[in-house]
Amino acid sequence: MRTGRPADVIPALVAESGAAAVYAEKDAASYALARDRDVAALAPLAYAGSTSVRPPGSVVKPDGAPYTVFTPFSKAWLSQPLPSAADLIAAPQHLPSPGDWPSEAIPALPALRPGSPFPPGEVEGRRRLEAFIAGPAAAYKAERDRMDLDGTSRLSPYLRFGMVSPRRAVVAALGAQRDAADAAARNGATSWLNELIWREFYIHILHHFPHVSRGSFRPAFDDIPWSNDETAFAAWREGHTGYPVVDAAMRQLLETGWMHNRARMIVASFLVKDLLVDWRWGERWFMQHLLDGDPASNNGGWQWTAGTGTDAAPYFRIFNPVTQGQKFDPDGRFVRRWLPELAGVPDAMIHEPWRLTPMEQRQAGCLIGRDYPGPIIDHAFARERTLAAYGVVKETKS
């Protein structure tokens, strides 16, 4: 184990060991590409696989151009030979000793908090994958958006750091499709496979269009007149916007380093289209706090919500944080888990507690403005402001 600049440390290790080659997994992130260019100039670098099942550049149109819309990409991805269990490489039973080369000590892992949601390691990653395929995968299509249910795989940190390979996940999804007991279970497996292909899509987009790491996939949207209110951004970061589903999700992120996928879309829409804050502010905050923070998926998700990216949702699609909460957390269990100050609020009002009368607030043990903030902004006003801001860009560029 060595630490330091890769361009210094790796060539030195090659010289020290007499190695004929340095093998690495190809990564489309801008930092990784720059790092690899520096190393390749001084050492015999060779790629063995990539962070995706289909390496970037291997799924393209007949004329060689990259896909920029998900559905055609997905069809092309599925048309290529699909991996099977035979393609999974078993871990070696023995690794030969590298000799007595100097090595830094492997750092001790910090003690996990009791009930830590993401214990590290390949063993845990494999256990989660097998448990998901054996259970929640069958209902994934129906339950994947419910924030109050444990209906997702929660494998994203393990995929991000290679504790579960994307190939193994795809093989598991295909097996669940094949062995499904009924149409609903088959649809569940298919829906999860589709999410794995979305992950591949964004890796390929980052490879072909590296400018997305700095700005909009469609550069015209870099000219949106953002408000970028620092106070509003701080309230969003800390989970104090006055919209329960937004605040619960942001506090989940701060406490666990993870957030439900539906919640990510809701909080991203709120930041960009209610508060009119540049999506790159939110993208950066997520990368600073997410255990599964992946440059390609994180960027792709934020641009999809902002309406600036590939396959983007229409810019005029703006999530209503109240109705989103009512639909995907109908009894308020998710909200109460992360906002204990709202524990006594009735189900019917859990997503808009400011509508409680003063007497009802006292009965619920939650006074708006004291125990929990009122809405930081009126959603109807915010919607019109955002449509006007995006409309300026659309009109100017047309």
Q: Would you state the pLDDT for residue 398?
A: 47
Q: Which one is catalytic: 279, 281, 304, 338?
A: 279
Q: Which of 195, 285, 341, 354 is catalytic?
A: 195
Measured distance CA(375)–CA(354) in Å, rounded: 8
Q: List domains and CATH numbers for the chain.
A: 122-208 (1.25.40.80), 220-397 (1.10.579.10)
- 261 is annotated as an active-site residue: yes
**Sole residue written with tokens 């993208």:** 283
Vertex 77: Cα angle to 76 and 80 (nearest 5): 90
For residue 382, what are its two tokens? 């915010």
* Length of the chain, in residues: 398
Per-residue confidence (pLDDT) for residue 313, from 0 to 100: 62
* Residue of 226, 320, 341, 360 marked catalytic: 226
Position 316 scores a pLDDT of: 82
Residue with tokens 């444990």: 150
Q: Is 226 a catalytic residue?
A: yes
Model pTM score: 0.94
Per-residue pLDDT of 154-165, as tens digits, reads 999 999 999 999
| Active-site residue identified among 192, 198, 236, 304 | 198
User: Which amino acid would we find at residue 89?
Assistant: I
- pLDDT given at position 312: 61
Which is the catalytic residue, given 302, 304, 338, 352? Answer: 302
**Which of the following is catalytic: 25, 124, 187, 261?**
261
Whether 260 and 152 have beta carbons less than 8 Å apart is answered as yes
Identify the segments of the chain with pLDDT beneath 70.
312-313, 394-398
> pLDDT, tens digit, for every residue of 344-367?
999 999 999 999 999 999 999 999
Q: Is residue 302 annotated as part of the catalytic site, yes or no?
A: yes
Is 285 noted as a catalytic residue in this protein? Answer: no
